[in-house]
Structure 1
Amino acid sequence: MNQHVGASFTLSVLVVVFFAVILYEPDHARPVSPPGSTSEPVEATQAPPPTPGVPLIESAATAEPPASSITTRPLEAVALIEPERIAPPKLTTPPSRPRPRVAPPAQPPAASDPPAVIQVVSRRQSPPPGRHSAFTQVGEGESLTDVALRVYGTSEASTALWRANRDIIAHRETPLNPGLLLRTP
Structure 2
Amino acid sequence: MKQVNFVVFAVICLLISSCSSNYVSNQESSNRISLGQNESLSLPPPSSISKIANHSFLVTLTTQEKTIPIQINTDQQTSYMLGFTSWGTRSLTLSYSNNKIFINDINALSNINTDYKKIFLALLMTQINDNEWFKYNPKINILTKSHIKYIYKNKKLLLSISKSKETYHIKFNQSTELSDIVVNII
TM-score by length of 1: 0.23
TM-score by length of 2: 0.23
Larger Rg: 1
Looking at secondary structure, tell me which structure has more strand per residue.
Answer: 2
